[in-house]
Structure formats: structure tokens, C-alpha cells
Amino acid sequence: MKIVTEASELVLGCAFVPTMGALHSGHQSLFKIGASHNENVLASIFVNPLQFESSEDLAKYPRTPEKDIEMARAAGVTHLWFPRYEELYPEGFHKLSAGPLGDIYEGASRPGHFDGVVTVVSRLFELAQPQCAIFGEKDFQQLALIKKIKSDVEIIAAPTIRESDGLALSSRNVRLDPAGRKAATVISRALFAASQETTLESARTLMLQILSEEATFTCDYAEIIDENEFTSATESTSHARAIIAGWLNGIRLIDNMAMKLGARS
């Protein structure tokens, strides 16, 4: 595996997985998907300051570069890129707007977050010129926005990877203490329970009921949406998805799951 610090050293036309580091097995699953599409797998590690609402949250983001290098190598990454801020954001660069989709749900709670996301991904695409890029469904709204970026890059969606107890893998999980780690499973429990319901009303009711039972979790939003339009789902919605976000001991957690309402006999 080659460590890259300058964009001029990149192999163009690769399979690309942008990350902010603190790698885990969820990232490794993305790297392996990349390897199934291209012999060259590029991963980038860049903690993007443009997508954090505060310098405090940016400072708290976990950084594990030595572990990241080993995990990337073990999962088949051929080129690991540590972009420099000055190369990504040269003097006079313009920050992009995520548009209306960037202002709802996660965007409403984190103003400007998705502007930072689409800006950094656009710049990474410009420099790396990949053939395809792989993003996880756990950050579903982010995935939807990246699909709207005007580029020739094929966007591949990868399923959410979960712990044995259902918790979605996230770099932020390492900040949870044991009690918080246990409490965090309320999100996936609510999603799995809702996914077993046959009507939209019963799925919403059960999801909210389960979330309310965990006193340490402060729910920001919990909704079932049309995953194509990001509007509230109705009984006629073909592709419904439950999305949940909230805070647990000061740590923001998000998750989502497709809902197959009415699909059972």
C-alpha cells in the first residue's frame, strides 16, 4: 500500500472511498467493495473542518492514524491519501451549497454541515478523478446529496454494517462509555421493530415509543420518509425509510433502515 500526500501521486480512474479516519470494519467493507470494482482502491483520510458546526466538535473527532493505516492495508487499499488542507482548499476557493436537501433533517440540526460535505467531496473528486466512489447507507442523507454532485463518478451505495447487538458502526462510537454504548442500541431496536410493522402508523408509533423508553437518549428527529424525495412517507410510498438522529451523553448518533411496510401476508 502506498501512502500519498500529494494529489499528483494519485492513480486516476480508481475505486475511491473518502473517509475522515478513525477507521472501523464498516470502512473496511467499503474498501472491499471498491476492490471488487477496480484493481486500484484509493482511500482518503481528511477530517474536514467545513462540515463541523464548532471547533469543539472538530477537536473531539477521534484520530487514529497508525491504526487507520493498518486497517486500510488489511482491507486491500492500494493507495492511502492524506490530503493537505491547502491542496483541497487553495486560497480563494468557493464553498458549495447543498441546496434545499441540505437544510432539512440532519441539515436543519447541523446548519452548513452538508455544504461542507459536498464541497470536500467535490474537491476530492476533482483531484482524484476516480472511476467510482463508495459511500455507506448509514449516512443516508449524505449519500443522497453526493449522488446529486455533478461529476462522471459512479456512486455505489453500501449497506450499513452493524455490531452483533444491532448498533450501526460509527467512528463516534468510541466516545461512548459502557453505559452509553449499551443505551445507544435503542436506535437500532426502534428501527428493527418498526421494520416489522405492516402499516406506516403502527411503525411510527412503535419507533417513537421505543426511543422514549431510553431516558439518556435525546431524540432530535425520528421519521419515516420517502427515500427518494425526503418527504414524509405515506401509505402509497414505494420506498420508505426510517431515519433517526439524537444525542446520547453529548455524542450525536444517526441511523436509518428501509421499511417494507405492507410487504407481509
User: Whole-angstrom Cα distance, residue 148 to residue 229?
Assistant: 13
Instruction: For the chain, 265 residues long, give each residue's pLDDT as a single digit of tens.
Output: 999 999 999 999 999 999 999 999 999 999 999 999 999 999 999 999 999 989 998 999 999 999 999 999 999 999 999 999 999 999 999 999 999 999 999 999 999 999 999 999 999 999 999 999 999 999 999 999 999 998 899 999 999 999 999 999 999 999 999 999 999 999 999 999 999 999 999 999 999 999 999 999 999 999 999 999 999 999 899 999 999 999 999 999 999 999 988 654 3
Taking the CA atoms of residue 114, residue 120, residue 121 and residue 126 in that order, the dihedral angle to the nearest 10 degrees is: 150
Cell numbers for 160:
450499513
Q: Domain segments of the chain: what residues?
A: 2-158, 171-255
User: Whole-angstrom Cα distance, residue 197 to residue 4?
Assistant: 48
Cell numbers for 84:
493537505
Among 27, 79, 94, 113, the active-site one is 27
Reported residue count of the chain is 265
Phi, psi at 105, each rounded to 5°? 50, -110
- Does 24 qualify as catalytic in the annotation? no
Architecture of domain 2-158: 3-Layer(aba) Sandwich (3.40)
User: Whole-angstrom Cα distance, residue 236 to residue 249?
Assistant: 38
Q: What pTM value is reported for the model?
A: 0.94
Architecture of domain 171-255: 2-Layer Sandwich (3.30)
User: Whole-angstrom Cα distance, residue 177 to residue 175?
Assistant: 7
